[in-house]
A and B are shown apart, each in its own frame.
Chain A
Amino acid sequence: MALKVLVGCKRVIDYAVKIRIKPDKLGVVTEGVKHSMNPFDEIAVEEAVRLKERKLAKEIIVVTCGPPQAAETIRTALAMGADRGIHVEIPLDQMDTFQPIHVSKVLAKLAEQEKVDIVMLGKLAIDDDSNQTAQMTASLLNWPQGVFASKIDKTDAGLEIIREVDGGLETIRTTLPAVLSADLRLNEPRYATLPNIMKAKKKKVVKMKPADLGVDMAPRIQVVSVEDPPVREAGQTVSDVDDLVAKLKDKGFSSA
């Protein structure tokens, strides 16, 4: 009983880029800056492709909510081995207000429409660090969730997932369908090869808007300000231990 997998991916600023805050302090500079697929989503796509290679999955649909430029992100996923894509187009100037709650509603709707067995996401996006989408999607669908997955196996009754938690590793079993999110150690994603990049250009990508899925885009969170971390102050050299103790007392670190 081969599974149908819906993989979500997001176009984010490349992890290697030095982030700069916009002058209006309401966001970061994105124009002219290198973007790529969220690294955790690469891991999610890779896991879906491996499920297909293990003959556990029969079709992989990749979906992204993003501006026109996000078409590149879908193509990368298709080059890695996804079968077809859905591009939910958000105008570039509305990206800031398109938040995890909206993405979850889109994914939940698509999961139902496409009748998928697994929704696979990255555990978080490196631009907003929200770590909410997988959980909210599961809740909207009322499906079990296996988040921070570091190993996924199929059982007769459903899935066995090993999760990375603070204290170590936790093994859970879920029924299907389920929502999963990929953690860092789940796998190491493959590189897209030129022949596959060329093949990906021929794979089908359907475009739609959030309204087509009945999702209203009004923001629920307002970003008040974005600031740089405080500039590191110069250290002070002390001449001897007495000086050090005196300075510690002055700054209130020692009551003696």
Chain B
Amino acid sequence: AVMRGVPQLLSRARLVRAGFSASEPVLAVQAGILQPDKFTQTFVQIRGLKSSKVIYQAPLTAVDIADSGKQLKQELEAIVGPGNVSSGESVVLQHGQDEGPHPGKSPDIVVFPSSTGEVSEVCKICTRHNVPIIPYGTGTGLEGGISAVEGGVCVNVSKNMNKILQIHQEDFSAVVQPGISREMLNQEMRADGLWFPVDPGADASVCGMCATGASGTNAVRYGTMKENCLNLEVVLADGRIIHTAGIGSRPKKSSAGYNLTSLFLGSEGTLGIITSATICLHAIPESVAAAVVGFPTVQNAVDTVVMTLQCSVPMARMELLDEVQMKACNEYSGLSYPETPHLFLEFHGSESEVESQTETVRDIAADNEGGEFQWAVQQEDRTKLWTARHRAYYADIALRPGCRSLTTDVCVPVSALPDLVTATKADIAENGLIGPMVGHVGDGNFHTMLLFDPADPEEFRKCKEVANKMARSAIALGGTCTGEHGVGQGKMALLEEQFGKDGIDVMRQIKGALDPQQLMNPGKVFSRN
């Protein structure tokens, strides 16, 4: 019999999970490079070995019982050091669960490499053992992107690779390792007049933000991760190290070669591990003013936003909080805003620019029945204002102690926003759910936190239905099923709807070319076939 690879004895538990009956003694063979969607099961006579079935299959997990599991661990320890490899229960549990509502699966082993070279060697080892590789930043994702659905090795690139490699003040760029978060970077640069403006809710790692194509409250003016990333250093599944815009390159623009940076941005760990990112910095604005203004209805608030954008006011932040969210914020942060839809705004520029911007927006808001503007100019007052907004998630959970939240994330062209928001609110009310709404309305992007009791599957099902309906409407209105959180596991079906079969097939082909053994973060973004 022609056979490649080393015979491995896999534990019954794993095989049962893969669909075999517990009574079959099975010798599983991990073959070499296979076509990603081929599954062959054949009876083969193997000289000198007792077996009833031999399976050629895409990767199964490195395992507790078999020698292969021990050997894998030893090989990994030889690269990163024994202190940086762990299969302890609490460690793997932490590395399989992100902050979303979907229960995560733990990886078999977690490694903590200290350099790009080590990451490359780890990938080579995993490729040789045919074992899945899951990159891990801070575990603050919301779509189950780090769940090890097929087990494998979780590569935590944040713990030991946490340096800011370079800051180029005059070029407004910085090169950072995966362990650096936005807040760490901004603290480091605080005396230099520079800042990094992409601020997703959690203090995520910059490279994790690259992997999910993250965005935040400042995107309306400063852009998302995609507009603020010049170059990525990526380790592929086979251990090759590439630089997506060129080795050491950081010009503001380039026409050289395929745009690999765009390919890896938002790839959610399915094409490679990002080990370093070259990102754009911006000048801290001379003058900053923040304001809160209330409206009788969400429609009024969104109309204000649309008109403000049409007047080309370079708003830095435009956030919508609906009346349910305002109630939550009031209760959680001890504030006393009226419980009506509000816009949280921020203006950046020179003193005169900020003055003229605020005048324009004041007029527009008044035309749309907006209330009094409440201002915050001093640093600590602005911090207080935005903390209330950034804590929205926790404020919502506090509305109903013990509950969890299914956080939705759709983005539509701004003109379609009023209709989608109104329709969604009606849907939420119809289903008897609590769903506070918070949105980066300047980008046409908003989130609802649909609260559910974890012990009530029916309620969770209703939340899922509302969320799916919202995403489908967004796609139908010319938008996208995920504005910034990524697809992960939760939105794979929606992705197919948005792109059509041919679009997804192209993605599959690209993945097949870069990751033929299907080891990079399996079970995410789109299915194998």
- Least distance between A226 CB and chain B CB atoms (Å): 26
Q: Are B188 and A37 in contact (CB under 8 A)?
A: no
Q: Are A193 and B286 in contact (CB under 8 A)?
A: yes
* Cβ-neighbour of A190 out of B192, B195, B379 (below 8 A): B379
Q: Are B283 and A193 in contact (CB under 8 A)?
A: yes
0 or 1 for each of A166-192: is its CB under 8 Å from B? (1 = yes): 000000000000000000000111111
- Least distance between B163 CB and chain A CB atoms (Å): 12
A64 beta carbon closer than 8 Å to chain B? no
B383 beta carbon closer than 8 Å to chain A? yes
Given contacts A193-B286, A196-B286, contact A36 B191 (CB under 8 A): yes
* Cβ-neighbour of B380 out of A37, A72, A79, A187 (below 8 A): A187
- Least distance between A122 CB and chain B CB atoms (Å): 16
- Least distance between A135 CB and chain B CB atoms (Å): 27
Given contacts A16-B187, A37-B191, A194-B193, contact A189 B284 (CB under 8 A): no
Q: Are B378 and A192 in contact (CB under 8 A)?
A: no
- Chain B, 168-195, CB within 8 A of any chain A CB: 184, 187-188, 190-195
- Least distance between A11 CB and chain B CB atoms (Å): 11
B402 beta carbon closer than 8 Å to chain A? no
Q: Are B379 and A188 in contact (CB under 8 A)?
A: yes
- Least distance between A47 CB and chain B CB atoms (Å): 11
Question: CB-CB < 8 A to A195: which residues of B?
Answer: 286
- Name 9 interchain pairs, CB-CB below 8 A, sorted by A: A37-B191, A46-B379, A76-B191, A187-B378, A188-B378, A188-B383, A191-B284, A192-B193, A195-B286
A56 beta carbon closer than 8 Å to chain B? no
- What number of B residues sit within 8 Å (CB to CB) of A? 17
Given contacts A16-B184, A16-B187, A197-B193, contact A189 B379 (CB under 8 A): yes
- Least distance between B289 CB and chain A CB atoms (Å): 13
Question: CB-CB < 8 A to A37: which residues of B?
Answer: 191
Measured in the bound complex, the distance between the Cα atoms of B191 and A72 in whole Å is 10
Measured in the bound complex, the distance between the Cα atoms of B191 and A188 in whole Å is 14
Measured in the bound complex, the distance between the Cα atoms of B192 and A193 in whole Å is 7
Measured in the bound complex, the distance between the Cα atoms of B379 and A190 in whole Å is 6
B285 beta carbon closer than 8 Å to chain A? yes
Question: CB-CB < 8 A to B193: which residues of A?
Answer: 79, 191-194, 196-197
Measured in the bound complex, the distance between the Cα atoms of B190 and A34 in whole Å is 13
Given contacts A79-B193, A188-B380, A196-B286, 18 further A-B contacts (CB under 8 A): A36-B191, A76-B191, A187-B378, A188-B378, A188-B379, A188-B383, A191-B193, A191-B284, A192-B284, A193-B193, A193-B284, A193-B285, A193-B286, A194-B194, A194-B283, A195-B286, A196-B193, A197-B192
Total contacts A-B at CB 8 Å:
44
Measured in the bound complex, the distance between the Cα atoms of B373 and A81 in whole Å is 28
- Chain B, 262-309, CB within 8 A of any chain A CB: 283-286
Smallest CB gap from B282: residue in A = A194
Smallest CB gap from B286: residue in A = A193
Question: CB-CB < 8 A to B380: which residues of A?
Answer: 187-188
Smallest CB gap from A190: residue in B = B379
Measured in the bound complex, the distance between the Cα atoms of B194 and A197 in whole Å is 11
Question: CB-CB < 8 A to B192: which residues of A?
Answer: 192, 197
- Least distance between A166 CB and chain B CB atoms (Å): 23
The 3 closest A-B pairs by CB, nearest first: A188-B380, A194-B193, A188-B379
Smallest CB gap from B189: residue in A = A191
- Least distance between B160 CB and chain A CB atoms (Å): 13
Question: CB-CB < 8 A to B378: which residues of A?
Answer: 50, 187-188
Which of B184, B187, B188, B190 has the most chain A CB atoms inside 10 A of its CB? B190
Question: CB-CB < 8 A to B190: which residues of A?
Answer: 191-192
Which of A76, A187, A194 has the most chain B CB atoms inside 10 A of its CB? A194
Measured in the bound complex, the distance between the Cα atoms of B195 and A193 in whole Å is 10
- Least distance between B161 CB and chain A CB atoms (Å): 16
Q: Are A194 and B284 in contact (CB under 8 A)?
A: yes
- Chain B, 188-214, CB within 8 A of any chain A CB: 188, 190-195
Measured in the bound complex, the distance between the Cα atoms of B380 and A49 in whole Å is 15
- Least distance between B157 CB and chain A CB atoms (Å): 20
0 or 1 for each of A11-54: is its CB under 8 Å from B? (1 = yes): 00000100000000000000000101100000000100010000
- Least distance between A191 CB and chain B CB atoms (Å): 5
- Chain A, 64-78, CB within 8 A of any chain B CB: 72, 76
Smallest CB gap from B191: residue in A = A76
Measured in the bound complex, the distance between the Cα atoms of B192 and A50 in whole Å is 21
Measured in the bound complex, the distance between the Cα atoms of B284 and A197 in whole Å is 11
Question: CB-CB < 8 A to B283: which residues of A?
Answer: 193-194
- Least distance between A9 CB and chain B CB atoms (Å): 12
Which of B188, B191, B286, B383 has the most chain A CB atoms inside 10 A of its CB? B191
Measured in the bound complex, the distance between the Cα atoms of B283 and A46 in whole Å is 20
Measured in the bound complex, the distance between the Cα atoms of B186 and A16 in whole Å is 12
0 or 1 for each of B51-95: is its CB under 8 Å from A? (1 = yes): 000000000000000000000000000000000000000000000
- Chain B, 437-471, CB within 8 A of any chain A CB: none
Question: CB-CB < 8 A to A16: which residues of B?
Answer: 184, 187-188
0 or 1 for each of B224-243: is its CB under 8 Å from A? (1 = yes): 00000000000000000000
Question: CB-CB < 8 A to A34: which residues of B?
Answer: 188
Measured in the bound complex, the distance between the Cα atoms of B170 and A197 in whole Å is 13
Which of A34, A46, A79, A192 has the most chain B CB atoms inside 10 A of its CB? A192
- Least distance between A189 CB and chain B CB atoms (Å): 7
- Least distance between B276 CB and chain A CB atoms (Å): 20
Smallest CB gap from A15: residue in B = B187
- Least distance between A197 CB and chain B CB atoms (Å): 5
Smallest CB gap from B383: residue in A = A188
Smallest CB gap from B184: residue in A = A16
- Least distance between B290 CB and chain A CB atoms (Å): 13
Smallest CB gap from B283: residue in A = A194
Smallest CB gap from B195: residue in A = A191
Which of A46, A187, A197 has the most chain B CB atoms inside 10 A of its CB? A197
Measured in the bound complex, the distance between the Cα atoms of B284 and A50 in whole Å is 19
Question: CB-CB < 8 A to B285: which residues of A?
Answer: 193
Measured in the bound complex, the distance between the Cα atoms of B190 and A37 in whole Å is 11
Question: CB-CB < 8 A to B188: which residues of A?
Answer: 16, 34
Question: CB-CB < 8 A to A197: which residues of B?
Answer: 192-193
Question: CB-CB < 8 A to A196: which residues of B?
Answer: 193, 286
- Least distance between B17 CB and chain A CB atoms (Å): 32
Measured in the bound complex, the distance between the Cα atoms of B286 and A159 in whole Å is 31
Measured in the bound complex, the distance between the Cα atoms of B169 and A197 in whole Å is 12
- Least distance between B197 CB and chain A CB atoms (Å): 13
- Least distance between B222 CB and chain A CB atoms (Å): 15
- Least distance between A185 CB and chain B CB atoms (Å): 9
Measured in the bound complex, the distance between the Cα atoms of B190 and A191 in whole Å is 6
- Least distance between A15 CB and chain B CB atoms (Å): 9
Question: CB-CB < 8 A to B191: which residues of A?
Answer: 36-37, 72, 76, 191-192
Smallest CB gap from A37: residue in B = B191
Measured in the bound complex, the distance between the Cα atoms of B379 and A46 in whole Å is 10
- Least distance between B179 CB and chain A CB atoms (Å): 13
- Least distance between B168 CB and chain A CB atoms (Å): 14
Measured in the bound complex, the distance between the Cα atoms of B379 and A187 in whole Å is 8
- Least distance between B475 CB and chain A CB atoms (Å): 41
- Least distance between A162 CB and chain B CB atoms (Å): 15
